[in-house]
A = this chain, B = another copy of it.
Amino acid sequence: MLNHIIDPVVHWLNLAGTVVFAVSGGLVAARKNLDIISFILVGTITAIGGGTLRDLLLGVSPVGWVGAPHILWICLISAALTYFVAHIIELKHRWLLWADAAGLALFAVVGAEVALAHGTSGMVAIGMGVMTATFGGIIRDVLCQETSLVLQQEIYATAAVIGAGSYVVMTAWLQVDRPLAVAIAFGTGFIIRALAIVFRLSLPGYRRKSPDSGT
């Protein structure tokens, strides 16, 4: 389904993001000492959750992976492999953070592009990009009772907003060439997330102003 709408570059970016997020789901399963079936469940949900919600909301019916079973195979194999090699990856924890940052930036661009291809407005396309990039991770954390992505201080969703937003601005409004727009938007989202990881950047959180308030 997706294959007919989006071009090969976005198609491959989508597969790359799928692998990365399936592995990230497996790593959370590792932290919880789950069995291999749970690795596969959590990895798959993490990898396809965001794109599935996007497809449902856009009215893509059935959703993308129903007609493209290789997506499920990729999730299954990525998550199952993680079961056997998680102890190696964990030693390289920061490497995983980088991969997750890449997945975030990839899916933000893919989500915005799929939405635009369905004729949505720019605002909706940005929302779809953010959703595609973050929703899988949100379900992963809710299922595994980890602190939700939404609650973390460090810049995360913001990188997806800027990645998807810059893509929409470039393609829908500035008529930038698509391959160039993909590269710039991906790079922008990735770099912002990368800076957040390296320098522990966060936007200012809401602070109560009244002196008598506590948490």
Q: Which residues of A contact B (CB under 8 A)?
A: 29-39, 41-42, 44, 52, 56-59, 61-63, 65-66, 69, 72-73, 83, 86-87, 90-91, 118, 120-121, 123-124, 127, 130, 138, 142-145, 147-148, 150-151, 153, 157-158, 161, 202-210, 213, 215
Contacts and interface: CB of A to CB of B under 8 A. Distances in A.
10 contacts: A30-B208, A33-B207, A33-B215, A35-B153, A41-B130, A41-B157, A42-B150, A52-B57, A69-B121, A144-B151
Contacts of A158: 35, 37
A145 B151 CA distance: 9
A33 B205 contact: yes
A43 to B, nearest CB: 12
Given A35-B206, A73-B123, A87-B209, 8 more contacts: A30-B208, A33-B205, A34-B150, A35-B205, A61-B61, A142-B142, A142-B143, A143-B148
A174 to B, nearest CB: 19
Nearest to A58: B62
Nearest to A215: B33
Contacts of A207: 33
A56 to B, nearest CB: 6
Contacts of A56: 56-57, 63
A35 B150 contact: no
Contacts of A73: 123
A123 B208 CA distance: 44
A157 B38 contact: yes
B210 A87 contact: yes
B208 A72 contact: no
Given A34-B151, A130-B41, A157-B41, A29 B206 contact: yes
